[in-house]
Structure 1
Amino acid sequence: MDDIYNKITELVKNNILDVDDNFVKFSDSGYDAVKFDKNNFSNIENIKSDNKIAFIDGGSSEILKSSNFSLNLIRIYYAVYFKNKRIKSGKNDFYSFTCAKNVNNEIYFDTEIIGIKNNIISKEGLLLSSLDETIKQGITRANISNMANLVRRFSEIKTAAKVVESLDENDIIVLDGSLQCTFTNEKKYLEELYENALRNKVIVCGLSKTTALMTDKGNSITSALNKFNFDGKWAYHPVADIKNENHQADIAFVKFHEKSKYMFRFEIFRKQKERIKDAINLISGNCKDPVFIGYPYGLVEADRSARISNSEKEMMLTFFSIKFGKEWEKIKDSLSSVDAHEILDSIG
């Protein structure tokens, strides 16, 4: 048994590569990577500002699922901070119901939004082929549950576009995640956000908790940048010249607090990239809370407030079982075909 563990530790150590990384390796030709250079590090400054920061995040939980339909509860939350105090917040709960339908002899997923008077997003753009490249898994047909991720993402961006209209010049709005379009029909929502932001002179940013980007030698970005031993809290920029129209952003990597062990991928709308240091400096002031030092507390709150607990999900499931009445046993039969994993997971 020791031989097995020794082999594993050897493999892990050998893959923490002590090599000279040159640049971030992007998978798309629309990115011209900039060679790593210690001169691209800059200190993040402590500043006093009268500008506000708005944070957006969303959560979802699948309540009912069969092979041909999926019902999800989706929650979108935003909070606006001024001098590290929340001055405004809002939350929207609604349901998304996706069903499979035959369109021209092919299976499509059709989604309807339920439970909110003024729908955050329109039904237009929520009919996708089950073989759409942005939702399918590998070479197989997409899982119908994946549509909830698309609806949540569109709703986060649409909420951001509305919140922007209540902000003032030089305020900042921060989305959880990248500014890259990853779903079909996502681009129109981001373009609306950008148009509103330019009109109101609000800065649009995205912050990713994790990044799958690697260097040209296959190393992690964190490992490559840490080799420079740059002290304190810092921003690393530029990373690449992005010419991809589905990713209208400029990228930096940031360490928001000198005591933090974490580095994050930071993005700003391409047409506002001259404001990237101003935005990073202001956001860093929201990253001092010990609950997750070095990460914006506004996003911690947004994540917590948008999350849907298992107990809440179980309560909704009980509610619907009562609502369906005698039909529930018949409906349960269609659900049981996909419940096997849950049964196995519950076995101690």
Structure 2
Amino acid sequence: MQDSTKTSHPLEELYEILGEDLEDCTSDGLLISENEDPIPLTNDSFKEIKESGASRKIAFVDGGDGILEEAPNFLININRIYFSMFSGKKRISPSTIKSRIEFFSSVVTKILKEDSKITVTYKTKLFPYDDQDRKLLPDEIDLESTTEGATILEKGRINSLSRRFAEWSFAKKIVEEELGEGDIIVKDGALQTGFKNETRYAKELYDIAMKKGVIVCGLAKASRIIELDCAEPIIAKVQQFSNKFNLGKWYFEVGNLPGDDMGFNLITKFHQNSNHVFRFEILTEQYNKMTEAERNDVLESFANNSKDMAIIGYPYGFIDADRFAQVRMNELGMYKGLLISQMAKHPEWKKLRSHSSSTKFHDKLNRVTS
């Protein structure tokens, strides 16, 4: 018989049960692949980022996007890509290309019927402010994607597609025109690819970077990767062990992850007084050819850019890039107003509004009941 006098809050019970459900498992290794031995978590596994006076030129690339209008059969987005360059704390101005590009994109759903098979195709078109910016953007045909039947491609993937491809193509242009041997380009996020044709854009960046001697890196602010022994988050486990050894700035080699990941993965801490630890990648082909001193120079260059008190231990170049790449909510409201004013000028606007209304009722209900 259940106790009807229960007084504890359900969240208290949830938290208690969650603590029991999370496996209390201890191991002194990091199991990344069932086909490989665990990586030892010992003092010798952590490499100190040493002071050597290195402050290489780093180009930080980030992007942002926001939905202006959507329906099950179309999507209108604003996309923004930005880069900044630093050597240590010193900002370096671009010499030939603009630091930010902004463009709109539309994705339209088309149905293709062949025999008894139905395929849903998503066709993307790009609309930059300046037509000269088209040379910095991906080709529209490469953004086309398909699903079978009436299944709609996940919105989160569709609305980020144009931005993701533009980040690769813009990064390639930055390497071509702004960087030289020994310089670094770093993308916000991992070096993984997840869309059809995206691997080709990544490879074009890697090829020109290796030809010019520019180091390609990726830094992920968050990671959902778990190790396969105790199901612990990799970053949390490595950080926990690093605290035992009283280390300052350091990096820990994880290596290549299963899948199409092109980067050699590290766990890094860029400032001794920071609590922030990141997943950091260097293009594997480049990392394997580096001496330990060269690896240290690359990582120390990031450490020398990670001393700003706003978020100590996080490269300031990415704080700056996020500020100028992010599409804020108040901006979305402004652009939505401009879009509505443009739609009202065209005879098709009623059809577009009727299509988008099929996804809007929940938002309207929230405004009424909130």
TM-score relative to the length of structure 2: 0.84
Does structure 1 conserve the Cα–Cα contact (< 8 Å) formed by 2:75 and 2:107? yes
Unmatched runs of 5 consecutive residues or more in structure 2: 1-6
Matched to 1:262, the amino acid is: H
Superposed displacement of residue 82, structure 1: 2.3
Does structure 1 conserve the Cα–Cα contact (< 8 Å) formed by 2:175 and 2:208? yes
Residue deviations 1:110-135 (CA, integer Å, cap 9, x gap): 11111242421111221111359xxx
Match of 1:315 among 334, 340, 345: 334
Superposed displacement of residue 148, structure 1: 2.5
Question: Are 2:274 and 1:271 aligned?
Answer: no
- 2:317 counterpart SS class: helix
Counterpart Cα distance in 1 of 2:156 and 2:262? 28
Matched to 1:25, the amino acid is: I
Q: How does 1:21-32 map to 2 (within 5 A)?
A: 22-26=29-33
Does structure 1 conserve the Cα–Cα contact (< 8 Å) formed by 2:55 and 2:297? no
What is the total number of aligned residue pairs between the two structures? 339
Does structure 2 conserve the Cα–Cα contact (< 8 Å) formed by 1:26 and 1:213? no
Counterpart Cα distance in 2 of 1:32 and 1:194? 29
- 2:75 counterpart SS class: strand
Match of 2:241 among 193, 212, 227: 227
Larger Cα Rg: Structure 1 or Structure 2? 2
Give the corresponding residue for 1:135: none
Does structure 1 conserve the Cα–Cα contact (< 8 Å) formed by 2:33 and 2:258? no
Superposed displacement of residue 220, structure 1: 1.9
Superposed displacement of residue 294, structure 1: 0.8
Give the corresponding residue for 2:316: 297
Give the corresponding residue for 1:150: 161
Question: Are 2:142 and 1:129 aligned?
Answer: no
Superposed displacement of residue 160, structure 1: 1.0
Give the corresponding residue for 2:272: 258
Residue deviations 1:149-176 (CA, integer Å, cap 9, x gap): 1211111111111111221211111100
Match of 2:214 among 202, 210, 224: 202
Give the corresponding residue for 1:113: 126
Q: How does 1:237-252 map to 2 (within 5 A)?
A: 237-241=252-256, 244=259, 246-252=260-266
Question: Are 2:8 and 1:2 aligned?
Answer: yes
Does structure 2 conserve the Cα–Cα contact (< 8 Å) formed by 1:231 and 1:258? no
Match of 1:91 among 100, 105, 110: 100
Rate the CA distance shift 1:276–1:141 in 2: closer, same or farther, 3 A: farther
Match of 1:54 among 52, 59, 62: 59
- 1:95 counterpart SS class: strand
Match of 2:26 among 1, 19, 27: 19
Give the corresponding residue for 2:68: 63
Question: Identity, % of aligned pairs?
Answer: 29
Superposed displacement of residue 16, structure 1: 6.9
Superposed displacement of residue 56, structure 1: 0.2
Matched to 1:20, the amino acid is: S
Counterpart Cα distance in 1 of 2:366 and 2:29? 44
Superposed displacement of residue 58, structure 1: 0.2
Residue deviations 1:217-269 (CA, integer Å, cap 9, x gap): 1112233221342324333332134575x222101001111111111000000
Rate the CA distance shift 1:16–1:295 in 2: closer, same or farther, 3 A: farther
- 1:2 counterpart SS class: coil
* Cα-Cα RMSD: 2.4
Give the corresponding residue for 1:341: 362
Rate the CA distance shift 1:58–1:102 in 2: closer, same or farther, 3 A: same
Counterpart Cα distance in 2 of 1:33 and 1:181? 26
Counterpart Cα distance in 2 of 1:255 and 1:169? 25
Rate the CA distance shift 1:316–1:285 in 2: closer, same or farther, 3 A: same
Unmatched runs of 5 consecutive residues or more in structure 1: 133-138
Residue deviations 1:156-198 (CA, integer Å, cap 9, x gap): 1111111112212111111000011122211111111111111
